[in-house]
Structure 1
C-alpha cells in the first residue's frame, strides 16, 4: 500500500469515526414531548452545547412546571412563546434565572435561531431567562449571539411535530389577560411536557 493510499484510508477511517460519533451524539440527545391542545411537538435538546440552559429547561420539565401552561405570545412570521402562564394568565413561580451562555453555545457548534429551533425567552437582561421559551417559526438570525449582542440562547430543535408548530403560529390572536396583543383567542395549552429520552 502506497503512502498516499494509507493516508486516504486513514482519512476515510477518521471521517467515518467522526460521522459515527456525531450520529451517536444526536441519538443520545434528550428529547422532550410537549403534548398540546393542537397536537404533539417533540424537541431534541443539546446539553453538550448549552449545558446550563438545557439543565434548567429539563428541570422545569421534570418538575411538571409546563403542564397546564399556554402559548401566550404567538406571532406568525416570528415565533411562538410559552411556559410562563396558565390559561387564566396566572404566572407560574420560577427558580432563579439561568446564566446566559449564548456565545459559548455557538462556539461549541450549537444551533442558531433558525426555523424550528427552541430558545430561552428573557427580558433585556441577558441573564434573566427562567422558564419561558420560544420556538422560532422563521429564521431569526438577528436573535443570534454576536460580538455586538448577547442574543438568545438556542438549545435544541423540533424533531417531530413541526406541523403542530405551524398550526399554532397561524391561530387568530388578540389582546387578553395582561397582554395588549398576540394572545391566541382560543388558548393553546401545553397539557404535559415529558422527557421521552
Structure 2
C-alpha cells in the first residue's frame, strides 16, 4: 500500500513538473527577441558565450531567445560532437520533447555563412526547425548552399569560449544523431547516461544581457 502511494505521488510530481515546464515554454513562445543578446552556457568543460543577432535570422533568433528564457537548454547533454559540429537540444523532460517537436518555425534565407563558431538550428527538411541547435567547429560553407531545401541559417556566433566547444566529448561522432536520437527523446538523459557515458553536459544556459 505504501509503495503504491509512493508511486502515485511520484507520478503526480512528474506530471506537475511537466505541466510547469510546458506552461513556462508556452508563456515565452509569445515573447519577441531584442535586436541582440548574449547567452552564457555553463558546461562540464567550462563556459562559453553566444552573441545572437536578430537581423541575421529573425525567426531563428526569436525562437532561441524564447527557449533560453524558458530554461530549455539547461541540464542537457551535447549528444553530437564531431570535427565539424557540436549539437544539442534534447530535453530530459521527454514529454516536453514531444511537445516541442511540433512547434516548428519557417525557414528563412541565409544572410551569414556557416563559418567556425556560427550557431544555427539543425533541420531535417523544409520548415521544420524546432529546438536542436549546432555550433560550427570548422567552416561548413556547404550548408549555405543547401538552404534551398532546408535552412541551415546562422542566428549568432560563439564570441567567447570556443575552445570549450572544441573540447566536448566526441567519441560517439554521429552515432546518436543518426541511430539513437528517437530513443533519447523518448527516455531522456538516463538513456544517454546508460548507453553513452562520458558526454559533456550543459548545466545551465541564461541570457546575460
Compute the TM-score of the two structures, normalised by the length of structure 1. Answer: 0.71
2:203 to 187, 191, 195: 191
1:43-101 alpha-carbon deviations (Å, 9 max, x no partner)? 0011122111101011000111111111111112x101001243x98873416111111
Q: What does residue 165 of structure 1 align with?
A: 165
Matched, 1:68 2:67: no
- Kept in 2, the 8 Å contact 1:67–1:192? The answer is yes
Q: What does residue 134 of structure 2 align with?
A: 134
Q: What does residue 113 of structure 1 align with?
A: 114
Q: Which runs of 4+ in 1 moved over 6 A?
A: 88-91
Change in 2 beyond 3 A, CA 1:148/1:161 = same
Which ranges in structure 2 are unaligned for 5 or more consecutive residues?
1-34, 183-191
- Kept in 2, the 8 Å contact 1:145–1:151? The answer is no
- Per-residue deviation, 1:122: 1.1
1:12-37 alpha-carbon deviations (Å, 9 max, x no partner)? xxxxxxxxxxxxxxxx7211011111
- Per-residue deviation, 1:147: 7.4
- Superposed, 1:4-15 pairs within 5 Å as none
Change in 2 beyond 3 A, CA 1:91/1:74 = farther
How well do the aligned residues superpose, as a CA RMSD in angstroms? 2.7
Higher helix residue share: 2
| Structure number with larger C-alpha Rg | 1
Which ranges in structure 1 are unaligned for 5 or more consecutive residues?
1-27
Cα separation, 2, equivalents of 1:73 and 1:57:
19
- Kept in 1, the 8 Å contact 2:104–2:130? The answer is yes
Counting matched residue pairs gives 158
Compute the TM-score of the two structures, normalised by the length of structure 2. Answer: 0.67
Cα separation, 1, equivalents of 2:38 and 2:103:
24
Cα separation, 2, equivalents of 1:162 and 1:49:
20
Matched, 1:37 2:44: yes
